[in-house]
Amino acid sequence: MIKKKCKVAVAQYDISFFTHFDQFTSKLESWFQQAYTQNAQLLVFPEYGSMELASLFDETVYSDLSQQLYAMQGLYQDYQACYIELAKRYNCIVLASSFPVLLANKTFRNRANLFGPDGLIGYQDKLMMTRFENEQWIINPGDELKVFSTDIGKVGVNICYDSEFPLYAQQQVSAGADLLLVPSCTDGLAGFHRVRIGSQARALENQCYVLHSPTVGRAEWSPAVDCNTGNASIYTPVDRGFPENGILLQIKDNSAQWLNAEIDLAELSHIRQQGQVLNHRDWNKQHAAKLAS
């Protein structure tokens, strides 16, 4: 049975430096424990939070953009196993921090895995790459847009820059997603605001919830995630019964912490039928207008 009301925890996540893998598992378990005390059913971690694992290698590796990607592949199974075990133990759904995965064709994808108490639900690869990913880091785009069926309903994932392109979210919502998860990793305020504005626009256009999880803080040792700026946020439709600015909650400082809330997915169906405006219904009407010559 699909749960209409859902308690969510959205991470504002810091990048740590580790000397042993057990330090990572302890950190992650602490985050899960904190979310559990708030009865969270869905946990959302950010884009590239996994890059803190590069610190486990020698400086010659973690300071090199290319070498760190190849070295981290040896940790991927243990990384997944850690999330799988914690999702089972705490009986929750979790979007893990995205991980740069090396495919059989020798190219990398920025992959966000969605886990549940029974293991892997599915994964979404980032579709639209930033200039840094394209030109310096050589991370390639995925080619499939997905919607995941879960105990709390259908969920879509827009990884960071993907949230700035409306057709991805629109297709996912048309396929039944009421909840969009946006993990991000942005180095400055401009990058954060691009993702924030995109995410809020997706919530407005589709009359859905958008959960935005960023990395925060500095990791001077890392050439990939050295500076991280953002505020964990939950965006909503802008209509009756929802906040007038479309922001249900947003963390105001830059410290590592959870943003906790209860969301009601049943309200989306109501607002799409009885709202002051009907963006979700009216989306296709825009295709009828042709540019005058």
pLDDT in tens, 43-80: 999 999 999 999 999 999 999 999 999 999 999 999 99
Report the CATH number at residue 89: 3.60.110.10
pLDDT of 8 reads: 98
Q: Is 71 within the bounds of a domain? A: yes
- What is the b/e burial string over 21-50, where b = at least 16 CB atoms within 10 angstroms of the residue's CB? eeebbeebeebbebbbeeebbbbbbbbbbb
Say how many domains are in the chain.
1
DSSP code at position 232? -
DSSP code at position 2? -
Tell me the pTM: 0.97
Q: Is 289 within the bounds of a domain? A: no
Q: Is 48 within the bounds of a domain? A: yes
pLDDT in tens, the chain (293 residues): 456 899 999 999 999 999 999 999 999 999 999 999 999 999 999 999 999 999 999 999 999 999 999 999 999 999 999 999 999 999 999 999 999 999 999 999 999 999 999 999 999 999 999 999 999 999 999 999 999 999 999 999 999 999 999 999 999 999 999 999 999 999 999 999 999 999 999 999 999 999 999 999 999 999 999 999 999 999 999 999 999 999 999 999 999 999 999 999 999 999 999 999 999 999 999 988 889 98
pLDDT of 66 reads: 96
- DSSP strand pairing (179-184 vs 153-157): parallel
pLDDT of 100 reads: 98
Q: What percent of the chain is helix, strand and coil (3-state, nearest 5)? A: 40, 25, 35
Phi and psi dihedrals of 29, rounded to 5?
Answer: -65, -35
pLDDT of 138 reads: 96
Collapse the DSSP code of 157 into the 3-class scheme (helix H, G, I; strand E, B; otherwise coil) and give the result: strand
Q: Is 243 within the bounds of a domain? A: yes
Q: Is 117 within the bounds of a domain? A: yes
Going through 36-186 in order, the beta strands assigned E by DSSP cover 42-44, 93-95, 99-102, 108-116, 119-125, 139-140, 148-150, 153-157, 179-184
Q: Is 24 within the bounds of a domain? A: yes
Q: How far apart are CA 230 and CA 214, in angstroms?
A: 5
Distances (CA, A) of 202 to 178, 209, 210: 11, 9, 8
Range of the structural domain that residue 249 is part of: 5-284
Q: Is 292 within the bounds of a domain? A: no
Q: Is 231 left (phi over 0), alpha (psi -120 to 50) or beta?
A: beta
Q: Is 290 within the bounds of a domain? A: no
pLDDT of 2 reads: 57
Q: How far apart are CA 208 and CA 237, in angstroms?
A: 6
